[in-house]
Amino acid sequence: MADVARLAGVSSQTVSRVSNGYAGVNEETRQQVLEAMRELGYRPNSAARALKRGEFRTIGVITFGLSTTGNVRTLEAIATSAAHEGYAVTLLPVAVPTQDEVRGAFSRLGELAVDAVIVILEVHLLDAVTLSLPPHIKVVVADSDAGDRYTVVDTDQAGGSRDAVRYLLGLGHETVWHLAGPEESFAAQRRADAWRAELTGAGRATPPLVRGDWSAESGYRAGLELAGQPDCTAVFAANDQMALGLLRALHERGRYVPDDVSVIGFDDIPEAGSFLPPLTTVHQDFAEVGRRCVEGVLRQMGQDTPEHGTTLVPTRLVVRDSAGAPRSR
């Protein structure tokens, strides 16, 4: 900066003013400074800036792996929104979703150049971890039920599940089975709860819940099991990957979809329309979740007090070919 100032024949403060687009600079001076910057290839040093301003213009994102579509899409939207607002995004991968790992990530975060954190961790691990965060760092959590302590942005899991079950019942199915996600997952829990509630509300029997782990492979195993249940005519899978495995198992066992068994997924991953048959599924607007996370974080940075409360992003049932009326008995 000093070099630029010297070359342009001004003080370093004037360079700073130009560099920050400050108003009260003579147009002629400004051009000289810009020219000098160009000539010297000047780049403001972000460390010094951050030090001086006391903020990094960076948002940290804590996430467990990038294996699930939802996390990735949300992350992508976060990165885009953040970039749009002039914020950078720093990634904090948590290797294994254990209490210790999460705590570790949070404490690494403490020394990290970050003004705020968005946590995309659907598992029940946030509880004991709160304390280790420096107090000035703002937090938004996606996919959690910690709405009483944090700002939470979530998909309307319950609404989406309700729509799926209602749609299947509307097609004439006696009841709907559920292929759930892993126990540790908040999202899985809420989808299962809503499924159960909707069935109960409609006065239908609740079949035993089948557990998967989000993977297509687990869906396949569950599918082999379900294929053996002759009274199973409709399945609501908690995500599209498991639905994919389910489709394969049913196909292998000669149970045709949708003629013998109807299947509905959750997420609407880009490939869902290319499954065999194309999957009817609940569309999640991950991009919107990401945007609102960034929004929430920035809003909190404008004020001193942290917020809490939950924002729900609505879902939409995308009807394709994997669900139909049950074969008439």
Separation between Cα atoms, residue 1 and residue 11, nearest integer Å: 9
Binds a copy of itself by CB under 8 A, chosen from 11, 26, 134, 256: 134
Using CB under 7 A, which residues numbered 41 to 60 contact DNA? 42-45, 48-49, 51-54
**In the bound complex, what is the minimum distance in angstroms from residue 83's beta carbon to DNA?**
19
* 20 belongs to the binding site for DNA (CB under 7 A): yes
Count Cβ atoms below 10 Å from residue 117 Cβ, excluding itself. Answer: 23
* 85 belongs to the binding site for a copy of itself (CB under 8 A): no
Let me know: does 62 contact 119? Beta carbons within 8 Å: yes
Using CB under 8 A, which residues numbered 39 to 78 contact a copy of itself? 41, 43-48, 50-51, 56, 58, 65-67, 72-73, 75-76
216 binds, among a copy of itself, DNA, none (CB under 5 to 8 A by kind): a copy of itself
Q: For the chain, what's the residue count?
A: 329
Count Cβ atoms below 10 Å from residue 130 Cβ, excluding itself. Answer: 12
CA distances to 315, 327, 328 from 174, in Å: 24, 12, 12
Let me know: does 72 contact 270? Beta carbons within 8 Å: no
* 128 belongs to the binding site for DNA (CB under 7 A): no
320 three-class SS: coil
* 36 belongs to the binding site for a copy of itself (CB under 8 A): no
Token digits for 209?
């819940």
The residue with tokens 């048959």 is 277
Separation between Cα atoms, residue 119 and residue 125, nearest integer Å: 11
Q: Is 45 or 200 the residue whose CB approaches DNA more closely?
A: 45
Where along the sequence are the contacts to a copy of itself (CB under 8 A)? 41, 43-48, 50-51, 56, 58, 65-67, 72-73, 75-76, 79-80, 83, 88-93, 95, 108, 110-113, 134, 215-217, 219-220, 241, 244-245, 247-248, 251, 270-271, 273-276, 278
Where along the sequence are the contacts to DNA (CB under 7 A)? 1-2, 9-14, 16-17, 19-20, 23-26, 28-30, 42-45, 48-49, 51-54
